[in-house]
Amino acid sequence: MDTKFIFFSGKGGVGKTSMACTTAVYHASKGKKTLIVTTDPAANLSDVFEQEIGHRVTQIDNVKNLYAMEIDPDKATDEYKERSIAPMRDFFDDEMIQIVDEQLSGPCTVEMASFDKFIDFMEDDSYDIIVFDTAPTGHTIRLLELPADWSKHIESSSQGSGQTCMGPVSLIQDNKKKYDDAVEKLRNKEKTEFIFVMQGEGTSLEETIRSSKELEEIGIKTSKIIVNGLIPKEESSNVFFKERYDMQQKYLKKTMDIFKDIDIQPIQLLNNEVKGLNMLIKLSEQLFNDCIDISVMKNKEAEDSLSEDILKKENIEEKPFEDSLIYPKKGKRKNIFFSGKGGVGKTSMACITAVKTASRGYKTLLMTTDPAAHIGNVLEKPVNDEITKIDEINNLYAVKIDQKKVTEEYKESVLSDAREKFDENTIKIMAEELDSPCTEEMASFQKFIEYASRNDFEVIVFDTAPTGHTLRLLELPMDWSKQLQFKAGESTELSEEDKKQKERFDEVIEMMKDKESTTFAFVMYPEKTPIIEAYRASKELETLDINTQLVIANLIIPENQAQTSFFKNRRNMQLKYIDEIKTIFRDVALVKVPMFDREIKGIDMINDIADCIFK
């Protein structure tokens, strides 16, 4: 079968999953055998289709020809390890198997296994259409760079020591052809469509511009851009929503001007969240037939049922915000982590909080671990990989982790230390190991630890990557340098430098567990998928003894602005979910942040909002 691949990407929260699911439903309804696969570690296909899917190809209920799978990084890792080790069990003793198992237990394996699973689907010709719902842009670009990077790494390792960070090159040599084929398919416009989804906002447009350029650099052309969530003109009847409507239309026009040679498709906001088969079918009429179904907009039945739900809810008392959640105790530093689904407003909330603590007189560092860093856009100030003083706000500094740069610094620091201890051949092997694509992740983590260990700030605010990737960052193993030495055939005894580094790791992990020093906050807008994603992540953090202390419900439609049935319906839906937030995060402080008539940008606006929400 001549399979066609359709990728959906874009900034977090722009509606990638909705568009990917809608596209999959549409093609399946046309008789095409269709598979939708999510490569996002925080998968939510199950939430959209309202059925359990998980890490196996699953037939979607009531849709002939449609199948789905959510790649689970942990299960993919176990499968990858077993697939690599199983053929060796007949030929090698337990000790040798244990050595190989050790080699496959590094941070590379998780990334490699998920990536390998994704590549497997690109070899699958049993479907007419395979739709990929990807993680937010920064991580997707990384995923798409990997086939070429791994192919190069295997090639260079086979000509050198015969070792890769995944073990002997002979174990993965066969994969080179698979990766080369994947690269060829990704670059073939007849085989692969690459669709960006964005919203009519500045940061979303800027990320689309940057990401489409990065794709071009690896030979992949953008096929189409969907500008999603546009307020219908007839719903812009009051000043508040007219402001938002005008802003969205301005960015829609700008998008069309910038991407003149690419198909741009506007998609209107619906009065309810996109969840369940009926909503996907309705949305497909707009996406493929340019037909907006008014019955979706004026769904009185849904409005009534939501109101009943609200009435049935248990009246749970809201835990109020306390100053101790963002301000440090005397003599102690405060660390505040903001996490959550992509696009829920983590960066805005991190900026608002940092501006507030700095304005209160605390020397504050705002830093981002998100590869698609936006704090510079929100502050409207240049932010780079050097700690920079932010003008206009005393005591405020900002920095972003530049993954490419920290990777080079990390490689040099490891090799520099190794040159004093090991011979030339060992250094060569370690250098090859460090050329693997996964070094970037460990290097970013090292930089994060470096910033988190600093004592020259009273408050550090961390704007993190979307949930799945943040958890990966926090769960990374601490013994990377030990593994490098192991693979180079050297003693794995800890050196003095290793001991200091391990102490630093331990201090940071303990700091994150200390409720007085650290506040872990989840940001969400009041809809099902961001709440479920935050809940799952908070439970996973609890396994690391890190408890959630603050939740922020963002983008709540102000009551006095919900004047039409369209926005009344959306607000009713939000109120129902705010009750769910209070139930799920019962002992956690809740801060409610209203929607504003324009995007949050600039120091003046941030200052005003900070004074409003952190009274």
The pLDDT assigned to 300 comes to 43
- In a 10 Å sphere around its CB, with 0-12 CB exposed, 13-18 middle and 19+ buried, how is residue 587 labelled? exposed
Summarised one tens digit per residue, pLDDT across range 225-284 is 999 999 999 888 889 999 999 999 999 999 999 999 999 999 999 888 888 898 999 899
The CA distance from 273 to 44, in Å, is 14
Give residues with Cβ within 8 angstroms of 578, minimum separation 6.
526, 553, 556, 592
Q: How far is CA 520 from CA 399, 436, 514, 533, 545, in A?
A: 20, 32, 10, 15, 12
The pLDDT assigned to 474 comes to 59
Domain boundaries, the chain: 4-287, 332-613
The pLDDT assigned to 71 comes to 86
Comparing CA positions, the residue from 12, 535, 527, 576 lying closest to residue 279 is 527
Per CATH, 4-287 and 332-613 having the same topology is answered: yes
**Which DSSP string do the residues of 463-525 spell out, in sequence order?**
EPPPHHHHHHHHH--S-HHHHHHHHTT---PPPHHHHHHHHHHHHHHHHHH-TTTEEEEEEE-
Q: Consecutive 10-residue runs of the chain (615 residues): their mean pLDDT?
A: 88 87 96 90 82 93 94 81 75 72 63 73 90 68 58 58 52 65 83 93 88 84 94 89 94 96 93 87 87 48 42 63 91 88 87 95 88 77 89 91 83 80 75 69 75 87 68 51 48 60 72 87 90 86 86 93 89 92 92 91 91 83
End-to-end CA, the chain: 61
The class that CATH gives domain 332-613 is alpha beta
Fold annotation for 4-287: Rossmann fold (3.40.50)
Comparing CA positions, the residue from 207, 579, 592 lying closest to residue 371 is 207
* 582: alpha, beta or left? (left if phi > 0; alpha if psi -120 to 50): alpha
Q: Given the structure tokens 């693979």, which residue do they identify?
A: 487
The pLDDT assigned to 196 comes to 93
The pLDDT assigned to 298 comes to 44
Long-range Cβ contacts of 100-105 (<8 Å, 24+ apart) = 100/167, 100/171, 102/483, 102/486, 103/166, 103/167, 103/483, 103/486, 103/487, 104/80, 104/166, 104/167, 105/81, 105/477
Give residues with Cβ within 8 angstroms of 122, minimum separation 6.
5, 130, 181, 182, 185, 186
The CA distance from 490 to 492, in Å, is 6
Give residues with Cβ within 8 angstroms of 455, minimum separation 6.
333
